[in-house]
């Protein structure tokens, strides 16, 4: 299933990209997302770097490993799951400059394997969670910008 999310931020594209270059900043804007936990990262998002996270489903923490496969600063970067529950999970972030503002576009390709419900579970469970996640992320990043903690 392909999902797309878009949000406009009041910050230059290069600054927004620079914030995203540190995978540790995931913890900064996801502090209130109680089902997320950063485990380890390589400290950058260049091609080949790896980030380990855990996502809680119910009371169980599910480990996931992502490898970065795309790095074109300050325009876009992407990561894909190399270990975890998804058959496919690929996420590309694109930064489009609009003067002093930036359009951040997120394209996500996600599919659960058949034994976890396949397309039906992806559509009914995973997609709505991704929609809530990106709405939360955008609101939290706007809050960080307004308080001067994003740049």
User: What's the pLDDT score for residue 28?
Assistant: 85
What SS3 class is residue 55?
strand
Chain-centre distance for alpha carbon 130: 9
Sign, CA torsion 15/20/22/28: positive
Q: Express each pLDDT in 80-137 by its tens digit.
A: 999 999 999 999 999 999 999 999 999 999 999 999 999 999 999 999 999 999 999 9
Spatial distance between the Cα atoms of 82 and 65, rounded to a whole number of angstroms: 6
Q: 1 near 7, Cβ under 8 Å? A: no
The domain locations on the chain are: 2-146
Sign, CA torsion 116/122/123/128: positive
User: What's the pLDDT score for residue 150?
Assistant: 73
Q: Does residue 151 carry a pLDDT above 90?
A: no
Q: Does residue 149 carry a pLDDT above 80?
A: no
Interval 58-62 mean pLDDT:
94
For the domain 2-146, what is the CATH code? 3.30.530.20
């Amino acid at each position: 299933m392909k999902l797309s999310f878009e949000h406009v931020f009041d910050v230059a594209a290069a600054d927004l990209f620079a914030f995203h270059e540190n995978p540790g900043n995931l913890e900064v804007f996801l502090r209130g997302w109680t089902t997320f936990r950063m485990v380890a990262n390589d400290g950058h998002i260049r091609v080949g770097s790896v980030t380990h996270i855990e996502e809680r489903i119910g009371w169980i923490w599910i480990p996931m490993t992502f490898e970065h496969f795309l790095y074109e600063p300050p325009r876009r970067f992407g990561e894909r799951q190399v270990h975890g529950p998804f058959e496919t999970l690929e996420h590309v972030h694109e930064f489009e400059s609009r003067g002093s503002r930036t359009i951040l576009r997120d394209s996500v390709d996600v599919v659960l394997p058949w034994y976890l419900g396949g397309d039906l579970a992806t559509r009914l469970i995973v997609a709505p969670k991704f929609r809530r996640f990106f709405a939360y992320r955008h609101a939290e990043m706007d809050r960080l910008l307004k308080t001067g903690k994003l740049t």
